[in-house]
């Protein structure tokens, strides 16, 4: 059991351990020490961040920690998480570091890592870093301190990469798109990508101030974009999250198109193009109807645990290319090494143009089964989940649902929440059962305080 690393790096509330400057400084030092042990050469690390005000603080702390271990640093400034993964590969950096809490509010922050190949760190490497964190910080001799430099053209490099994933034979001319950048790390990238490919864009939430990232905008609040799509008679809307690894879309009729639907569109277009191989990886949260529709196309489908690292592990183990989550975190391993909201959106747009269909037509080829999802905030989700009363009621709930529906109750890997999801055909029954279970969770939580 790791002490600091969760399913997506280290994340938490700024000012509450471990998301404190002294810890982040030592984290940089620990990473540097592990890298120096592995490679007998000059070590280079790149650092990027999203638009949270605390990013300045933690960027400086990481820089100091890495330098004290004798590691050279290249600073990217605000960059989407998938852009940092891409640049880690192209610069042949030993590690890429992302300062971001993804879709969380501004008062949270975190640290994520990528390997030279642009993938998340292995459990073994994370454990080595944690072991180093327990040691006393001892810096290298002053003659061996790492140097820091800024990469001024990082955004331009990533813009060109994103455009390269869109077929050269077609363009986005004639499409009117509402783009919501969540006041996050894509604010200076995504608009250029779409405009340079020919689209007319209505750009919203692209004015970050350090505090407004994900604030009633982006993929976690797509209704804002939805209203503008309808008001402006746009062809569609694209909503990214704060660090750019998630995307949701809205069709011209105002329907929100989630990650399950987008993943289906991308996989089916790859099949039409003859580039599809293997199967598709979803998660425990993926809609049952997605699995059923892929089965009709003779496409294998498996479920991984919730979290992009588990989707990625399943894809790499099987040699497959396409996977994703309902939340809009979609992986196209034939193009990049991690979930990329801009790249995923471009593949959907390419499918629209190639098939000469609207997003509404592509997404309405099948209907999702109703899902009810509610969150219960608590101090220790894993402990609450193991409470005897909770386990007893969960067993009863599954017995009630039988084979006609399913329930998934789990502790969030990124927030202090228990997520309760019920799925089936009878929406009224699902809502009633969900409310009952949520009320029970709250009662057990309060009784244990």
**396-401 long-range contacts, CB within 8 A, separation 24+:** 397/433, 397/437, 400/433, 401/433
**Which pTM does this prediction carry?**
0.90
Higher pLDDT, 38 or 43: 43
List pLDDT tens digits, range 122-142.
999 999 999 999 999 999 999
- Give all domains of the chain, ordered by start, each with its CATH number: 10-152 (3.40.120.10), 171-254 (3.40.120.10), 258-368 (3.40.120.10), 371-447 (3.30.310.50)
List pLDDT tens digits, range 245-303.
999 999 999 999 999 999 999 999 999 999 999 999 999 989 989 999 999 999 999 99
DSSP E strands in 100-229: the ranges are 108-115, 148-150, 176-180, 200-204
Q: Which residue reads 């053209």 in tokens?
A: 153
Q: How does residue 448 score in pLDDT terms, banded at 50, 70 and 90?
A: confident
**Two structure tokens written together for 100:** 């971001």
Dihedral-angle region of residue 321 (phi above 0 means left; psi in -120 to 50 means alpha; beta otherwise): alpha
**164-169 long-range contacts, CB within 8 A, separation 24+:** 165/332, 165/335, 165/336, 165/343, 165/346, 165/347, 166/197, 166/346, 166/349, 166/350, 167/350, 167/354
Q: How does residue 402 score in pLDDT terms, banded at 50, 70 and 90?
A: confident
Identify the pLDDT of residue 449: 76
Tell how strand 72-78 and strand 44-49 pair up: parallel
- For helices 388-401 and 427-447, angle between their N-to-C axes, nearest 10 degrees: 170
Catalytic residues: 102
Q: How does residue 213 score in pLDDT terms, banded at 50, 70 and 90?
A: very high
- Cβ contacts of residue 375 below 8 Å, gap of 6+? 412, 417, 418, 419, 420
Q: How many Cα neighbours within 13 Å face the side chain of 331?
A: 29
**Two structure tokens written together for 31:** 């990473």
List pLDDT tens digits, range 106-119.
999 999 999 999 99
Q: How does residue 367 score in pLDDT terms, banded at 50, 70 and 90?
A: very high
């Amino acid at each position: 059991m790791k002490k600091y690393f969760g399913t997506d790096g280290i994340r938490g509330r700024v000012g509450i351990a471990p998301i404190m400057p002294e810890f982040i400084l030592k984290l940089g030092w620990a990473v540097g020490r592990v890298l120096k042990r592995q490679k007998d050469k000059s070590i280079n690390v790149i650092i990027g961040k999203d638009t949270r005000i605390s990013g300045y603080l933690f960027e400086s702390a990481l820089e100091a920690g890495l330098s004290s271990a004798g590691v050279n640093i290249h600073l990217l400034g605000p960059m989407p998480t998938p852009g940092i993964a891409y640049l880690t590969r192209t610069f042949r950096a030993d590690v890429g570091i992302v300062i971001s809490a993804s879709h969380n509010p501004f008062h949270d922050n975190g640290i994520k890592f990528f390997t030279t190949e642009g993938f998340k760190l292995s459990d073994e490497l994370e454990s080595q870093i944690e072991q180093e964190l327990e040691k006393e910080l001892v810096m290298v001799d002053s003659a061996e301190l790492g140097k820091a430099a800024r990469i001024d053209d990082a955004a331009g490099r990533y813009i060109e990469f994103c455009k390269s994933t869109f077929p050269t034979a077609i363009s986005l001319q004639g499409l009117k798109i509402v783009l919501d950048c969540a006041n996050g790390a894509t604010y200076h990238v995504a608009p250029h990508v779409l405009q340079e490919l020919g689209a007319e864009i209505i750009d919203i939430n692209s004015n970050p101030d350090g505090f407004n990232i994900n604030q009633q905008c982006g993929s976690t609040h797509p209704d804002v974009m939805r209203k503008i799509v309808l008001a402006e008679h746009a062809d569609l809307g694209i909503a990214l999250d704060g660090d750019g690894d998630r995307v949701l879309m809205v069709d011209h009729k105002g329907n929100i198109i989630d990650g399950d639907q987008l993943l289906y569109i991308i996989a089916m277009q790859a099949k039409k193009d003859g580039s599809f191989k293997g199967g598709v990886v979803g998660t425990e949260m993926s809609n049952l109807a997605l699995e059923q529709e892929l089965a009709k196309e003779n496409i294998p489908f498996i479920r991984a645990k919730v979290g992009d690292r588990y989707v990625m592990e399943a894809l790499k183990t099987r040699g497959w290319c396409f996977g994703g989550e309902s939340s809009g975190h979609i992986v196209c391993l034939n193009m990049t090494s991690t979930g990329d909201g801009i790249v995923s959106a471009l593949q959907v747009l390419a499918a629209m143009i190639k098939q000469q269909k609207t997003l509404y037509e592509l997404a309405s080829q099948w209907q999702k089964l109703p899902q009810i999802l509610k969150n219960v905030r608590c101090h220790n989700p894993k402990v609450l989940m193991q409470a005897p009363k909770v386990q007893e009621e969960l067993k009863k709930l599954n017995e009630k649902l039988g084979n006609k529906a399913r329930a998934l109750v789990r502790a969030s890997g990124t927030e202090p929440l228990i997520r309760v999801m019920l799925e089936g055909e009878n929406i009224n029954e699902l809502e009633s059962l969900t409310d009952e279970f949520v009320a029970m969770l709250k009662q057990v939580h309060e009784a244990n305080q």
